[in-house]
């Protein structure tokens, strides 16, 4: 580490304890922010040995001038702003310390004694949690919420309070991010359930049409569009499989019921043609009034009819042989 020393002739020099290096120039590690800013400028201010007049020398170009260079002026202005900012920060720190002292005095005699320093930190962090201090809160904002609580004095030093506060904010930010992730996940799950059970949803519906219908619904609008499109596609895929399964089951049920119905239609014999059978069924009330047969597939009807005719032919041949 660099340390400052004075040589026998009174000049200041700097010594690094690990590298054993010595330097007349002040190392960057020991410079103030203003000094580091000034060191970046090649122009340096000097006083003439004989006249005492100020002049400026550029270490890069070896140029010298009596007039203050524009680059040097800009650096001076930046340094002034930086020093003003540092002064404000110092004043703010001082005010915080004064407020902290005032709060301690107000709660004197009410202090809670903690067995360990870790217990004290945990109590302070719990206070922040109990007051629902968000991860985006400033120290000044948090103080307004927590300063009247006994646990505020769990940590006596202001700088340690702020360290615990920053540690709490880091952890709180992670928790808030996880809560957001979980909330987004739950919103997508709710939207999925909502879509697959919505009466206007089917596998042929386009996203644009769905958006026009559902954009005012909370379940739809609360999910960001990119995620919403993914959920919509998943719902459409599910509905497509569901519809195909339902269609297969319906066709099987229709064929089964039609086969039972044909057993009771006396007008249909083993000689009846398909065209004649259709005409008979169109006026047969048990067929005509049954909603199950409203959209029955013609090919399925033909298959069932042919099986029925085949069974009638076998019955006829059996009877013929018996006679």
Amino acid 86: pLDDT: 76
Q: Convert the pLDDT of each residue in 122-157 to its tens digit.
A: 999 999 999 999 999 999 999 989 988 989 989 989
Mean pLDDT is lowest, of 6-20, 59-73, 304-318, for 6-20
d(CA 251, CA 124): 69
Longest dimension (CA), the chain: 151
CA angle 197, 198, 203 (to 5 degrees): 85
Nearest C-alpha neighbor of 294 from the set 258, 241, 245, 246: 258
Q: Convert the pLDDT of each residue in 201-230 to its tens digit.
A: 999 999 999 999 999 999 999 999 999 999
Give the helix ranges, DSSP H, for the chain: 33-39, 70-106, 117-130, 139-146, 158-197, 207-214, 218-221, 225-262, 274-282, 285-288, 298-322
pLDDT above 80: residue 102: no
pTM for the structure as a whole: 0.51
Nearest C-alpha neighbor of 277 from the set 292, 264, 262: 262
Question: Could you please report the per-residue DSSP string of 100-141?
Answer: HHHHHHHTTT-PPP-SSHHHHHHHHHHHHHHTT--TT--HHH
Give percent of the chain with pLDDT exceeding 70: 92
| Choice between 72 and 246, residue whose per-residue pLDDT is larger | 246
pLDDT above 60: residue 253: yes
d(CA 146, CA 133): 9
Q: Convert the pLDDT of each residue in 9-50 to its tens digit.
A: 778 887 887 887 888 888 877 777 777 778 878 888 888 778
Q: What is the mean pLDDT of residues 46-60?
A: 84
Amino acid 173: pLDDT: 92
Record the tokens describing residue 210, joined without a space: 């769905």
Q: Convert the pLDDT of each residue in 163-190 to its tens digit.
A: 999 999 999 999 999 999 999 999 999 9
Amino acid 182: pLDDT: 94
| Choice between 9 and 283, residue whose per-residue pLDDT is larger | 283
3-class SS of residue 158:
helix
């Amino acid at each position: 580490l660099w340390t400052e020393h004075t040589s026998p002739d009174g000049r200041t020099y700097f010594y690094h304890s690990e590298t054993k290096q010595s330097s007349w120039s002040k190392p960057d590690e020991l410079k103030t922010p203003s000094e580091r800013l000034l060191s970046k400028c090649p122009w340096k201010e000097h006083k003439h040995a004989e006249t005492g007049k100020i002049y400026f020398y550029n270490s890069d170009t070896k140029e010298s001038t009596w007039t203050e260079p524009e680059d040097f002026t800009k650096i001076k202005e930046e340094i002034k702003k930086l020093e003003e900012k540092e002064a404000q920060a110092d004043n703010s720190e001082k005010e915080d310390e004064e407020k902290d002292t005032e709060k301690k005095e107000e709660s004197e005699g009410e202090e809670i004694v903690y067995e360990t320093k870790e217990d004290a930190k945990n109590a302070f962090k719990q206070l922040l949690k109990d007051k629902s201090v968000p991860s985006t809160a400033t120290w000044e904002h948090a103080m307004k919420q927590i300063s009247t609580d006994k646990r505020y004095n769990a940590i006596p030093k202001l700088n340690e309070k702020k360290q615990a506060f920053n540690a709490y904010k880091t952890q709180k930010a992670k928790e808030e991010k996880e809560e957001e992730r979980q909330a987004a996940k739950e919103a997508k799950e709710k939207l999925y359930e909502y879509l697959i059970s919505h009466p206007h949803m089917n596998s042929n519906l386009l996203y644009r049409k769905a958006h026009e219908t559902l954009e005012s619904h909370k379940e739809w609008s609360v999910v960001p569009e990119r995620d919403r499109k993914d959920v919509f596609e998943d719902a459409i895929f599910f509905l497509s499989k569901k519809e195909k399964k339902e269609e297969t089951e319906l066709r099987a049920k229709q064929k089964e019921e039609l086969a039972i119905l044909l057993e009771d239609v006396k007008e249909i014999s083993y000689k009846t043609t398909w065209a004649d059978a259709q005409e008979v069924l169109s006026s047969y009330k048990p067929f005509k009034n049954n909603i199950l047969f409203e959209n029955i597939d013609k090919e399925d009807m033909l298959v069932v009819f042919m099986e029925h005719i085949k069974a009638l032919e076998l019955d006829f041949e059996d009877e013929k042989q018996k006679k």
